Every structure is written in structure tokens, then in C-alpha cells.
Amino acid sequence: MDSQSLFRRSRARLALWYAGVMAVILGLSGVGIYRALLQANWVALEREIESIAGTLHDSLEPLLLPAENPTELLQQIFPDLCIAGQVCSPTNTLIQRHTIGISDRRSYYIRLYDHHGTLLAYSPNHPLPLPLDLNPAPWQTLQADAGPRYRQFTTILHAAHSHPNSSELHSHGSWGYLQIGRTLAPFDAEVQRLRWILAVGLPLALGVVALSSWGLAGLAMRPLYQAYQQQQQFTADVAHELRSPLASLLATVEAILRLPPDQPSQVPMLQTVERQGRRLSQLIADLLLLSVLEQDTTLPTLQSCCLNDIVADLTEDLAELANATDIHLRCQIPDAPIYVMGDESQLYRLVSNVMVNAIHYTPPGGSVVVRLTAQDHTATLAVQDTGIGIPAQEQSLIFERFYRVDRDRSRKTGGTGLGLAIAHAIVQRHQGTLGVDSKPGQGSLFTISLACVNGRLPLGHGDSTRGSTKPDGQA
């Protein structure tokens, strides 16, 4: 399986898991909100019915007297109610007067029963399909055939001024029953609306989540894919770089084995073996150092390092290399010391790699100038050369492993292609910056910026110039 298919399948799995988890969360949240809204509406509806029933109950009980004919009493108290068994004409009913402020007063109805459970009176808007038999249960949900549902509340009515001498009241304990109910059509409509919202909104939300999960999975997999590609590229580069010296070693060893033991030409061949072995050893050491620098982002030991001494020492150490290639190497260092916190060996390697790179890519007769300055708590080391320059499109690539602007020239100088990559890793580890400004044929300027610990130092203060020994007559 190729890497593209592997990462595509991994992205799909990640997106599927993300979408599945979000679907469960959204589903549970939607069902929970749906049930909470239904419960809240149902409780509010029952409280409203109880409130109206309590108002009617408190208004009726003081007027109810024990009577042999309760219908006559009801006609006297509530002339707007319909008496059971008589023709009823709709009027401004009692329920409407006691439900002022309710959004829909026509949705409520009342019924009055005697203590035997016989229907005495009812409001004109009473739903006729409902059963008329008394059910003394406090709460009931009724439905007639395929019509709307109703929620009904039943409470007991006691006669006013009741006393134990009344055998009828004593035996039954109540004057009768009051029932108040309302239609559940608005409630059922709200339930249906919420279900439609869930049925339509949840799939739409899941669709958005699926698209988002695919995009987020791509963002999450992008660094992994880039790291995988870098690893593949690194493996290919290492294999390519190791192939040449290993092939040269094997060829030289085979040639030596074919020669007679006393053949004097063995010495140059052994020197070639030693040179290629040293190149392999240096390449492996650079790879290990670069791996350590990139994996460990914390400095093991921090100490105050003087950049003046590092630049001066490297200028002297590299003078022989510069003279061998007829290059004028000089440095400009201020008298006041510039200190930075870091690892001295790594800082030494950083400056060395940049200077050696400038020398290698500068043709004979050119110059390399190293300037060290400090300003605003920042130490700046600039390495200016008059070399071949770097095209603009390649300047962002020179800090990658094994990248060379001029491969043929680098092969001749024996470079491994890891110098600037190591320098960039060291700068990042010291929380500094490494930049380049170059034009083809006009040389390059590499700038290293690090935080210094000795405060501000004016530019040009006490600059001194050190240079390599050059043949007479050369600048």
C-alpha cells in the first residue's frame, strides 16, 4: 500500500470517528433538550390548569349550600352554565371570566357533578365527544376517537356551612366535583414542531459535522504526512549520500586485494580508503547531531558564552583553509565583549558552519567578512561573502538536509550537505534566527541573531579588524 492510500484511509477513519462521536453527542443533546422542553411545557400546562381550578374552587365553595335540587342552585349561581339535559346556547361563560390573561380562553372547559357522580352542568364549549361519566382521579388525559387530546383535572367541592347533622353530607363528605380541562392541541402541535426540528435539523447538523470532520482530519494529518514525507526524503538522501563513499571504499579495497603484497601503489589506495572512511564518519556524526538537535528542543546546559572569542578563534582556525583557496577572510569584532546564554560547543559549530559554507562557495580571489555587533539586547553576526550567490527561489531550501546550490562544487570541497541544516537547528534551539540575503553572482549575506545578556552596545564602538595572512600584494 502506498503512502497516499495509507494516509487517505487514516484520514477517513479519523473523520469517521470524529463524526460518530459528534453524532452521539448531538443525538443525546437533541433528545435531552427535546425531553426537557416537553417536560417544562407539560408542567407549565398542568400548573395553569391547577391555578384556574383553584380560583374556581375558591369562588364556588362559599356559594354552595346543601339542597335537594342542586341544578336550581347552580342556575341561581351560574346562569351562564349549561344544565345537563337542557338546551344550551353559547354565552360569555364562567370559564372565560376566570381565565382573563390566558392566551386562548376557548381551550378550557368545566364540568360540575354531584356527589353521586351525576353530571349537573357544563360550560358551553365543553367537547361533546368526551365521555360524561365521572372519573374521580385527579388527573386524566382523554381523547375521543381520532380527535384532539384533552388534559383534565378533578377536585372535590364541599358545601358551605356544612355541619354533622346533615346526613347526606356526612355520608358522602362532599357537595360534588369540579372538573376543568383544556385541549392539548397546541401542546401536541409544539411536540410535532420539535420532532420536525429534530428530524430535519439533526441530519443537517450531522452533514455539517461530517464535512467539518473531513476537513479537520486533513488538518490533523497534514503534519504527520509532512513528517512522513520528510522521513522518506531523509532516508533517500542518506542512501544517496552513503552510496558514493561506500562504493569508492569497496572498489579501493578490491583493487588492493588484487595487488601483490609488495606493490608500492597500495599506499595511495589506503589513503583513499582513509579519506572515504573519514567522510563517512563525518556524515554519520553530522546526522546524529542533527537528529539530537531536532528531537531535543531544550538546552542541556546554559552558560555565558562570549561571541567575540568564538568569532576570533574561528577566524584564526579557518585562515589556513581560506589561504589555500586564495580567499581573504577577516572579521570585525567590537572591543566590548558580547555574551549570549547557550551551549558554547553548539554556538562554535553554528558560526563555523556558516563561515565554512561562505568560504566553500566563494571563488578564488574573493573575500569573506564576519561582523559582530550588538544593539537592543540582540547580538548580530553577519557573514558576507563574494561568492556565487543563491537564486531567490532556492533561498528557502538551503537549510534543508543535503540541499546544495552547486552540487559539483560541494562534491569537490567534500561537504556533506548538512552544514546549514545543523546551523539552522542550533539557532532554533537557542531561540534565535538565521536569515540569508543573496543575489546570483553578487555573493550572500548570512545573518545570525541571538539574545545577548550584556545590554545595549553602540554600533561601531571600538571595532577591531582581524584578518588571515595573505600573500604579498593581495587585499
The number of angstroms, rounded, from the C-alpha of 422 to the middle of its chain's C-alpha atoms is: 32
- Which residue type is seen at 464? S
**pLDDT value of position 461:** 39
* Domain assignment of residue 427, yes or no: yes
Q: Is the pLDDT of residue 396 over 90?
A: no
Q: Tell me the pLDDT tens digit for each residue of 413-446.
A: 555 677 788 888 888 888 889 988 888 888 899 9
**Which three cell numbers mark 250?**
569497496
CATH code for the domain in which residue 344 is found: 3.30.565.10
The answer to whether 128 and 142 are in contact (CB under 8 A) is no
Query: Is residue 418 assigned to a domain?
Result: yes
**185 shares its domain with 330:** no
Q: Is residue 217 part of a domain?
A: no
Give the pLDDT confidence of 278-292 residue by residue, as tens digits. 777 767 776 777 666
Number of domains in the chain: 2
Q: Are residues 453 and 309 in the same domain?
A: yes
With respect to residue 89, please indicate whether it lies within any of the assigned structural domains.
yes
Q: Are 73 and 64 in contact (CB under 8 A)?
A: yes
CA dihedral 74, 77, 82, 83 (to 10 degrees): 20
With respect to residue 233, please indicate whether it lies within any of the assigned structural domains. Answer: no
More confident residue, 460 or 300: 300
Confidence label for 295 from pLDDT (cuts 50, 70 and 90): low
Residue 154 has pLDDT above 90, yes or no: yes
The answer to whether 113 and 179 are in contact (CB under 8 A) is yes
End residue of a domain, out of 172, 192, 212 = 192
- Give the confidence band of 35 by pLDDT, cuts at 50, 70, 90: very high
Same domain membership, residue 171 and residue 28:
yes
Q: pLDDT tier at 264 (50, 70, 90 boundaries)?
A: low
Q: Which residues constitute the domain of residue 162?
A: 7-192
Model confidence at 38: pLDDT above 90? yes
